[in-house]
Each structure stands twice: as C-alpha cells, then as structure tokens.
C-alpha cells in the first residue's frame, strides 16, 4: 500500500481508533506543549516499522522537507535547535547577544557559552520584551555575530516583536544573524521569514506543529547557510553538525536516501500528517492564525472578566498560543490546578524561576484553537470560572 | 484511566488496530534496524498527548529508567550516544582509542575528535574484529582515557568480543573507560555490564529494543559517573550534557518530574511497552537470547547451503542479530534486493564504504527472532532460496 493510501485510510479509521482506544474519553489537555494531537497524527505515529531508506518513506520525508521549506529535521527536542545554532553559526570566541524575556533566554545563553561564544544578555523585566532602543544600543557598542530571541517565551507567555527586532538589527548591524526561537510560536503566531529577513527559525514538533515531541525542526536562511559555509573552524558539535545533516536533507528532498543518523521514522510520518493538515487542508494557514487569535481573545477576555491578571504587562507582549495568569490574591497552585484537572483541564504551573509559584499557564495551540467542534476553549473558560468560584468559596 | 490499564487495553485492541490499519498485510521487514515493532508498541506510540510532568507519565518514564537500570533516555538517534560519551567522559586534549570493525568506528572517532579528543584507531581487516594483542599493545604504548568499540558493527555484521576487550583493558590499563557501542547488539547479543565491567553501553530504540527510532539510550557505570563528576572542564555539548540530564533522570526515577528538554513522551510509552515485553514477560531474557541464536543459526546455515559467504571471516566474529552476505559471483544488488522485496523481504544493501556494492544485510532481531508464529525466519529463508534460483536462471 502506498503511503498516500495509508494516510487516506488513516483518516477513515481515526474515529474507530479513538473509540477502541478510549481516546475519546481522554482528558482535555491544555498546557503550552506538548499539545493535543489529532487522531490522524497519532495514527501516523503508529505506522508500522519502515526503513529510513525505503521507497515508501523517502517521499514522506521529502514532503516534510518541502512543506517546511528546507529545514533540518533531526531526532531531538526543541533544545537541540539551540545546539545547532550555537555549534554551526558561531565560532569559539565570537560574540552573541541574547534577548531575554523569560526562562529560555538564560538557557539559550548557557548553550551558546558551552560552544565557546561570548554572550551578552539583555534582560527585560518579567512580563515584558526587550525594547528596540536597548537592542540598538547594544548593537552599536559591540559587533555581534548572532542575536537570538525567544519569540514566545513559554515561561512567561511574553511575545517578542520579531519584525521590529530584525528591522533594528538590519538598520544598526546588518550582518548580524538573527535567530528566532519559535518553539512556542511556529504555527500559532504569524511569522514571515523571508519578508522579515529572519535567518534562523528554531521549532519543535510538539507545540503549534501538532505532533508528538521528539523532532527538532530548524529552518535557516541563505545568509545563515553562507555564514556556515564560510566557517574557519569545524562545527563544535557532532550530532548537530550541519556539515553532516545538510547533504542528508538535500538528498531526501531530491528523492534519494542518505545516511548520517537514523531519522525518527514514525515521528516523520506523524509530522507529515500534521503538516498536510496545516498547509494543504481547510482552514487555510491565514484562517488558522485567525482561529488562534480568536481562541486567545476569548480565553484572555474570560480571565480578565474573572479578575485574573496576565503576566505580560501589555497586550502587545501577550502570546496568541498561550496565556500566563497570576493566581488571585490569597490563592495558589494547590487551589487552582487540581480543581481545573477535575474539570478535565490539565494546565501548567509557573516556570520562571523568580515567580514560578505565583502563576499558571494555559496553552491553546493547534487543534485546541482550530477545531471548534472539540469545544476545548469553552471547556477551559467554564473550568476556570467554576474553579475560581469554588476556590474563593472555600477560603 | 491509569497507564497500566491503558496498556492492558492496548494489548486487547492490538489485533483490531492491526486489522483496521491494514498492518496485517505489511511487508515483512528485515533490515538491521529499524526493526519490526509489535502492535502493542505501535499502539503505545499512538498514546494521546500527555504532559511530560503529569502524574500519568511520571511512573511510565520512571519504569523505563528502572527497567534499563538508570540510563540516560534522551530524544535523539543512536548517534547521540557518541556525543554523550565524547562530551562528558573525555576532556579536550585527552586520548581515546577506537577499535574499528566497520563504518561506525570511523564515525565514533570523528565524533570524539569534534569534541577535542586525540583519537587513535586500531583497524581490523573487513570481516574481523581487532585482536586482543593489538589492543594490549596500544594500551601499553599510550595512556588512554577511553576505549570504544562497536559491539556489532551494522555495516559488517562483525561481533566484537566485549568480555575479552574489557579483560584486556583491566589487565593493561585498568583506569581506561570502556564504552561499548551496543546500538546493534543490546537485547540481541548477551551483555553482562557489571560482570564484564563495562563502563558505558550506548543503545538506541529501533533495533533489539523493538521500538520506533528516536530515543538515545545510554547506561553508564559508577566508574564512568565518577570520572564525569571529576571533570575539570564543563561538558563540551549542551544538549548531551550529563550535568543537565543526570538530575532529570534521578528525579523521574524517584517519581518526580523535572525539566531540561521535553522528553519524547510517545516514544517513552512505546519503549515502556517494549521493555515490559522484554523484561517482564515470557519468553525470559535468557530464552530470548536463545531464540535470537536459533534464528541466526537457521539463516546463516540456509545461506551457507545456498553457497553464500558471510562478511565475517570467522563464526566467532558473526553477529547474532543480523547477517551480512557477499553477493554470489556475477550477481549484484539489482539481482537480489528487488527480488527479495517482491517476496516480502526488505533487506539492506552494503554500508561499508570500500565494499558496499558487493554485499547485503539481513536483520533478525526482536519479534522477527522471538515470535516464531510470525514465520519471519521461514519467509527470509524461502525468499533467499527463490531469489538466488531466479537470479541464477536469468544470468
């Protein structure tokens, strides 16, 4: 059976699969990644074993590469994208500037330092992103090979203005490479890589891209590849080395197998199923973004009506795919999260070291936002309302 | 529903799953990894999305850690195990000795050099493993921090004598760490880590461990962890850093969640299902090894009867989980592999750079060897016989 036929069949049997597996009764799941995954994607993840060099698998891998526009697709978590950037685009002793809008800025800086970069961080206050003035000032003071920022920091739900950051870089220090950490933004926040002139987008399978975790996804611009090709020293990682992976991705894209390390075959099938839904099916990509904005507006408005304050200090800093909310005065994780869970909503606690016990996070990416018939957004809002009423009544 | 209940249910529905998905008609699959995976494992891989910090997932991850005896379980391919060894156990400028019995020796050496090791390789002729005399001589000439060898080199099907290698090391240079690359041997070749005094075993999910690819599995001895803890410099990789992963594995083992990078949740469920089958079900581990030996004997005997010669020069060098065979005189890949495929057997071509067009490889690990009712070994033997007869008749 061809893989296309198998996918057609998968769509047909997904309901059966869900029923026999008891998936239909699965608790609605609302953390900012891993996110809920469609039955079609889960089914593809259960694809029978397949050789990574077989004629059935090659076009599936090739399709993923084409649909993501020549990415690196490597078995690993989102974190591996940092290693790719740090070990391929920066040489030991070169300068990197990290814009910090939460937990993940510190980690990316740590990763860059591991591979020998000299790192400076610009830190915003909690709930804010670094200002363009601060970015411009830093770029004027020192020559940076690379600037990185977290598009949506999962720890704070703070959204950075990607377009403005690249504009500032191109105005003040045009050769500096710009890496956008989009693990928590790709497919839920609008990104226009070419138009905005972003050099690297780092993603992972388990958030907006709607696939189980385990796949590191990275797209590099022509400029980034050129900088990589003109390195003086060898890449400082083996597993993350683009020298190894670039020929592999090119081979599969052109319909030929090639080997460096075994690709996560089943996850590639699952990713393929999700990419088909995102890029080739209704709703369109533009409509999907709008559905994400609508879900976000509804949840944020409901939270506001309930007297809950967001971590992001300004609506301009608030992510679309997730919401971070301070616990109300006098209430904490123990009052809120277990009650939400009882009502079928698994939310996440805080993650930012300084304030992690004072807030919680709700994810609304992928099918939770896009497939209205699931009713996930309604369930979240209803559960929030009831939880706050119960918690207040018991205090 | 608890995860245990879900697994029980999974076993019950696997037949249904196979039928509705058309998996029953799936071509028998006989390359040396990825290998055929049981329906129970595939079903677990289709587990609905689950938070990596949820009370349902923590015991599953914890079970895997206990069943594998405190491993590092990280999203990545088997190759990532080399990075773990090279970046955690060797400091820049230290010496490493790589025993080369095929393609993977060169690659491991390349990986070690990437992270700053001074590498010497001892190369055996094609079809052989390095002799103990050569190992002893090398260890006498220079002090090595680490010795690595490929237990079964997937490119040649050459098995190295793990027990003898560690004995030689402990006799001549007792402090040298010994890393066994067991990607193609764990669960199909007998390994006694404590008894033989091996320091590191590198594995991956998609071979003898019977799980889809995407999980790097590494077990380190107390000696190895002690050497790691006394490093003078920081680990030279970020994503592979045991400084990051050790607390995570310890936390999950003790029933608590912790975060460094998102674990590949679905693959962990799949791995759990496979480990339950391997370590807690009939046949026992000892019986499983015997079933692997039996499958290997049958295929190697049939090949010999057909006049096919193995790459391994001596039966002592021949792996149990796979067989590498020279094409008969006058025949090549085009004569053999497509005919095998038509008969339902996907075999693999050669991989060793010098001779890759002159031989092919058959895998017989996991359920292919253990579940006799599948009839995989019979199918392989029958297909081989018919293929050779047809190919000879047409020449």
CA distance B37 to chain A (A): 6
- pLDDT of residue A53 exceeding 50: yes
CA distance B97 to B122: 7
Flag if B237 and A237 touch (Cβ within 8 Å): yes
At residue A87, the pLDDT reads: 98
Which whole-number Å values give the CA distances from B52 to A55, A80, A212, B239, in the listed order? Answer: 34, 17, 11, 18
Which whole-number Å values give the CA distances from A389 to A104, A304, A309, A335, A340, in the listed order? Answer: 34, 14, 16, 11, 12
Q: What percentage of chain A has pLDDT greater than the value 70?
A: 93
- Write the CB contacts of B98 (distance below 8 Å, at least 6 apart in sequence): B105, B108, B109, B112, B119, B120, B121, B122, B147, B148, B149
At residue A342, the pLDDT reads: 92
Flag if B240 and A235 touch (Cβ within 8 Å): no
Which whole-number Å values give the CA distances from A304 to A298, A301, A308, A311, B392, in the listed order? Answer: 10, 5, 5, 12, 78
How many cross-chain Cβ pairs, A to B, lie less than 8 Å apart? 221
A236 CB neighbours in chain B (<8 A) are 114, 236
Residue range B54-67, pLDDT digits in tens: 888 999 999 999 99
Which residue out of A3, A236, A262, A349 would a mutagenesis test of the B interface target, given it has the greatest number of B Cβ atoms within 10 Å? A262
B86 CB neighbours in chain A (<8 A) are 238
Which residue out of A55, A216, A264, A353 would a mutagenesis test of the B interface target, given it has the greatest number of B Cβ atoms within 10 Å? A264
Establish whether A339 is an annotated binding residue.
Answer: no
CA distance B361 to B326: 9
Contact yes or no for A346/B51 (Cβ under 8 A)? yes
Contact yes or no for B3/B276 (Cβ under 8 A)? no
> Closest Cα to residue B65, out of B316, B279, B336, B224?
B279
> Closest Cα to residue A223, out of A256, A194, A255, A181?
A194
Which whole-number Å values give the CA distances from B232 to A116, B94, B394, in the listed order? Answer: 16, 12, 65
Which residue out of A10, A48, A363 would a mutagenesis test of the B interface target, given it has the greatest number of B Cβ atoms within 10 Å? A48
- Scanning chain B, the segments in alpha helix (DSSP H) are 3-21, 39-45, 57-67, 79-88, 103-114, 132-141, 162-172, 193-196, 222-229, 242-253, 265-280, 285-305, 333-342, 367-370, 376-394
CA distance B200 to B112: 15
Which chain B residue has its CA at the smallest distance from A103's CA? B260
CA distance A235 to A243: 8
Flag if A214 and B43 touch (Cβ within 8 Å): no
Flag if A46 and B42 touch (Cβ within 8 Å): yes
- Scanning A176-238, the segments in alpha helix (DSSP H) are 193-196, 222-229
- Write the CB contacts of B4 (distance below 8 Å, at least 6 apart in sequence): none
- pLDDT of residue A12 exceeding 90: no
Overall average pLDDT of the B327-354 stretch: 92
Phi first, then psi, for residue B329 (nearest 5°) are -50, 130
CA distance A325 to A304: 10
Secondary structure element (H or E) that encloses residue B50, with its range: none
Which chain A residue has its CA at the smallest distance from B20's CA? A13
Flag if B213 and A264 touch (Cβ within 8 Å): yes
Overall average pLDDT of the A17-46 stretch: 74
B269 CB neighbours in chain A (<8 A) are none
Residue range B294-318, pLDDT digits in tens: 999 999 999 999 999 999 999 999 9
- pLDDT of residue B260 exceeding 60: yes
Checking ipTM against 0.90, whether it exceeds it is yes
Among the partner-chain residues A9, A54, A346, the one whose CB lies closest to the CB of B54 is A346
Of residues B11 and B348, more confidence is placed in: B348
Residue range B156-193, pLDDT digits in tens: 999 999 999 999 999 999 999 999 999 999 999 999 99
Residue range A217-236, pLDDT digits in tens: 999 999 999 999 999 999 99
By DSSP bridging, strand A359-363 and strand B146-150 are unpaired
CA distance A39 to B1: 18
Flag if A262 and B34 touch (Cβ within 8 Å): yes
């Amino acid at each position: 059976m061809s893989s296309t036929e198998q996918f057609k069949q998968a769509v047909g049997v997904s309901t059966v699969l869900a029923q026999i597996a008891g998936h239909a009764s699965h608790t609605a799941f609302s953390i900012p990644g891993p996110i809920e995954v469609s039955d079609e994607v889960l089914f593809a993840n259960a694809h029978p074993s397949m050789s990574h060099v077989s004629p059935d698998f090659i076009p599936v891998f090739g399709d993923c590469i084409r649909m993501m526009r020549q990415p690196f697709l490597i078995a690993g978590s989102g974190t591996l994208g940092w290693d790719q950037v740090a070990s391929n685009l920066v040489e030991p002793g070169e300068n990197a500037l990290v814009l910090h809008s939460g937990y993940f800025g510190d980690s990316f800086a740590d990763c860059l330092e591991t591979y020998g970069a000299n790192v400076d961080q610009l830190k915003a206050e909690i709930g804010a992103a670094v200002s363009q003035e601060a970015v411009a000032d830093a770029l004027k003071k020192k020559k940076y090979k690379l600037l990185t920022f977290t598009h949506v920091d999962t720890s704070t739900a703070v959204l950075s203005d990607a377009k403005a950051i690249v504009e500032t870089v191109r105005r003040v220090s045009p050769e500096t490479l710009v890496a956008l950490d989009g693990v928590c933004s790709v497919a839920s926040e609008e990104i226009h890589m070419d138009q905005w002139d972003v050099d690297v987008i780092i993603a992972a399978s388990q958030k907006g891209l709607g696939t189980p975790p385990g796949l590191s996804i990275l797209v590099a611009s022509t400029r980034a590849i050129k900088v990589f090709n003109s390195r003086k020293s060898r890449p400082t990682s083996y597993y993350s080395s683009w020298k190894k992976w670039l020929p592999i991705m090119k081979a599969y894209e052109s319909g030929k197998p090639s080997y460096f390390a075994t690709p996560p075959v089943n996850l590639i099938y699952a990713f393929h199923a999700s990419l088909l839904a995102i890029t080739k099916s209704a709703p369109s990509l533009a409509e999907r973004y709008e559905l994400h904005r609508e879900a976000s507006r509804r949840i944020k408005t409901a939270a506001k009506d309930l007297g809950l304050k967001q971590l992001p200090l300004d609506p301009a800093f608030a992510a679309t795919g997730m919401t971070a909310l301070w616990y109300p005065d006098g209430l904490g994780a123990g009052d809120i999260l277990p009650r939400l869970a009882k009502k079928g909503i698994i939310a996440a606690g805080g993650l930012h070291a300084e304030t992690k016990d004072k807030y919680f996070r709700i994810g609304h990416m992928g099918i939770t936002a896009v497939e209205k018939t699931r009713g996930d957004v309604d369930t979240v809002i209803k559960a929030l309302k009831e939880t706050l009423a119960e918690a207040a009544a018991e205090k």
